Chain A
Amino acid sequence: MLVLLLLNLRRVPSRFSPTFLVLGLLVLAAFGDASAIAAERTFVLAPADLVSAPDLFGAKALSRSATLGRTVGLKRGAVRFAKGVCPSLLADPTRRVTRVRLLGSPTGAPLVVGRSLGSGLTNALTLIGAATWSAPASGATRQTHWVVDAPVADSVGFTTVGFAFGDQTGALGKEHASDRALGFRMNVNLSSDPGVGTAELAIAVTTELPPKKLGKPGKRTECIVVASLPPADLPALRALVNAAPLTSVTKNRLNFILNTADTFLARGKPDRAARNVRTFALEVAQRTETEIPPAFAEPMINRANAAAEALSF
């Protein structure tokens, strides 16, 4: 349509003419549509991320409590967000994470957590700016004693193998606070591109105390956090390359490697794609200082390492 309109114009419209404004709006709309297309993005988590999540989110929620109003509160020595209570795992070494569930977009989240927790959750997640995404999501885990949870409302989650009957084997606690080995992967169709930044994903973290009776789960608490997670995938690497002040030669070389990885991924060969991503990290490392400023190289290398691991799950 834009092309047809341009072909019909006999001269370039003046800067403030109605035609120019219409053209401008059309261009904006065209680009706006492109950025709004949902795309599958990959996120990876380590035990340390999950163990520190309640504290990190508590800090964020408290800092923003002036605008969040009664959505945030204190309950039993923990920060409450919506109806979820987030006790610190770092402050209580007996408390452990046994289940993690990615919550859908603000409107989909209540479907995952159920009616009692879901009441008011949509409003709370909207207020704090949780990302929206379209179902289905998928996941994988290589964390020992953890499995991918049966999907609810096309979402994804992870539980310990013995979650149903209260066996806490493999549950994560304070001792995992420095365990940075990536153990969980989630794939989500995000509505908007986070670019070089992070996506605000709503996650329900189930924590529990040691069981008092054999064969019965300990007291469980559901905590709803909104975690700022950087995508670990090829689009994220491409965004980092494009945002860096690089010569066209360097940019083309790095994008070429990423395109090759994309090709292998499209062919269903994630291992080969992972190798290309490692090559990308290596090339960035070798060009650091000479062609790539260190401040831009560091996130590229770190994100590439995470992306390569995500592809190797």
Chain B
Amino acid sequence: MRRSLTLTAFIALLALAGAGRPAMAQFPPPPQAMTFHLGVGDVLASVGKTNAFLVSLGKQARGLKLVPGGTKFAGLTCAGFGDVYKLASVTVLTGPGVFPARVTTKKGKDALALSTAFGLAGLTPWFPPATDAETDRQFWTAANAPHGIQFASEALTAGNDSGLLGAASSAGIFRFRATVPTNVPPGAAYRFLLELVGRTASTDTGLVAFGEQRCFTFVDLVPVDVGVLSRLVNETLSDAYVRNGLATRVTTLIQALDRRDFVEAFEVMAYIIGHLVARTPEHAEPAAARRVVTGVFDVRRGLDFRPATAVCGNGTRETGEACDGVDHGGFTCSSIGYASGTLTCQPSCLFNFSGCVANPVCGNGVLEFGEECDAGAQNSNTEPDACRTSCKRAFCGDDVIDLFEDCEGNNLLGETCKTLGYDGGSLKCDPVYCEYDDERCDEGE
């Protein structure tokens, strides 16, 4: 009897657990660490955008007033940033829940007003601590701070103008990696809460003490990770041929970035953009193509970032460097996929792969270094888009009309100048891009 009761209770518990648990598909994807580039220009522009948002809240931002150059709300004036007040520090905060700790005026009423207003802004909740915080601005540092991550100029501690940023010096990046939700559309921006501190430059005030202004704003940032590009390709391009073809290239890009082969990465990125442009609008909807192109350039910008403290040639591998001297970050020829050899570092802090030896066996179905593909028995020199028997991907000039190709050699697929809408002339196939070359087609007058 006792055993049967225990069994019944166990079954009931199982049933309850099952009933309470949503279906697997309903679970949101787990949060993921992503890299963001916060531009100095973005920071300065965020003041105006936030002010406009606060105005649009109407009665929900009670007490908001217009002041010259911006607004005053909850005891804080957001005006003249980059102009009268030069940027002295930027803190990326975790969300509106931090206001009670950071704004203690009026017995918490100001903090409540800010929490309410910014709570309506759709801020992205992210999970501290942020990592990899760096900046390419001289005289600025990055460090974890209470409720977020802070980028600060030396001016704050040195009591001078060191590093203060105005609208005229709006170049520069604050970079950080934060764990954010991933259940957003591909290429969508994440909205971060910022706390800005601005200071008047010493020349503005003469011997008078520095003027200081604190202000909360928000900024929309798209991650610069290649994962976003992968999602953009897979989720926004509707044509399966284009999508699958580019997805393969994105995989190649990811592999190149994994082994820090930036030269190949750059080539692949140019390829992706080129072929997307070539297929628009016939096979790629223009708005979707533009988003993917932007995604590629976002990744490219991410690779361009060099922290102000990084020095190529100091023997330590830093952000933006594949290697530095003998510091290869643990990479060897074999870890990258070569059979053997010695990996070296170029003076430009890029790997030199010429000392690596590849020993691939084409046709064994295993992708080895030196091979672009290997589909084993499926390798073919006659099937469109198949891996060729040389273990090279299908290419223009392989005598097969592949994806992204209009023609090959003299095979124009029956098209002529006339069928393309011209009055006559001689249609050719571009030997480099395998596209119709209509320069010799006649335009009737």
Contacts and interface: CB of A to CB of B under 8 A. Distances in A.
Interface of A: 46, 55-56, 58-60, 62-66, 72-74, 76-79, 87-88, 90-92, 178-182, 264, 267, 269, 272, 278, 281-282, 285-286, 288-290, 294, 298, 301-302, 305, 309, 312
Interface of B: 45, 47-49, 51-53, 55-59, 64, 66-71, 79-80, 185, 188, 266-267, 269-270, 273-274, 276-278, 280-281, 285-287, 289-291, 293-294, 297, 300-301, 304, 433, 443, 445
A181 B55 contact: no
Nearest to B61: A77
Given A267-B443, A301-B293, A46 B56 contact: no
A286 B297 contact: no
A312 B270 CA distance: 25
Contacts of B70: 62-63, 65
22 contacts: A58-B52, A59-B48, A59-B49, A59-B51, A62-B55, A66-B79, A66-B80, A77-B55, A77-B58, A79-B55, A88-B52, A88-B55, A88-B56, A178-B185, A180-B290, A181-B287, A278-B278, A282-B274, A286-B270, A289-B269, A290-B270, A305-B277
A93 to B, nearest CB: 12
B306 to A, nearest CB: 14
Given A66-B68, A77-B57, A288 B273 contact: yes
Contact of A289 (B67, B266, B277, B287): B266
B258 to A, nearest CB: 20
A77 B59 contact: yes
A289 B290 contact: no
B273 A62 contact: no
A289 B52 CA distance: 39
A281 B281 CA distance: 13
A59 B287 CA distance: 26
A55 B218 CA distance: 14
B55 A305 contact: no
A305 B280 contact: yes
A281 B53 CA distance: 37
A181 B69 contact: no
Contacts of B269: 288-289
A288 B52 contact: no
Contact of B267 (A56, A73, A289, A309): A289
A272 B58 CA distance: 50
A46 B66 CA distance: 31
Contact of B297 (A88, A91, A294): A294
A312 B269 CA distance: 27
B270 A59 contact: no
Given A58-B52, A180-B290, A282-B274, A63 B58 contact: no
A76 B58 CA distance: 7
Contacts of A78: 55-56, 58
Given A66-B69, A74-B66, A181-B287, A90 B56 contact: yes
Contacts of A289: 266-267, 269-270
B277 A180 contact: no
Nearest to B122: A90
B225 to A, nearest CB: 17
Given A62-B51, A65-B69, A278-B280, A87 B443 contact: no
Nearest to A280: B277
B443 A269 contact: yes
A289 B274 CA distance: 12
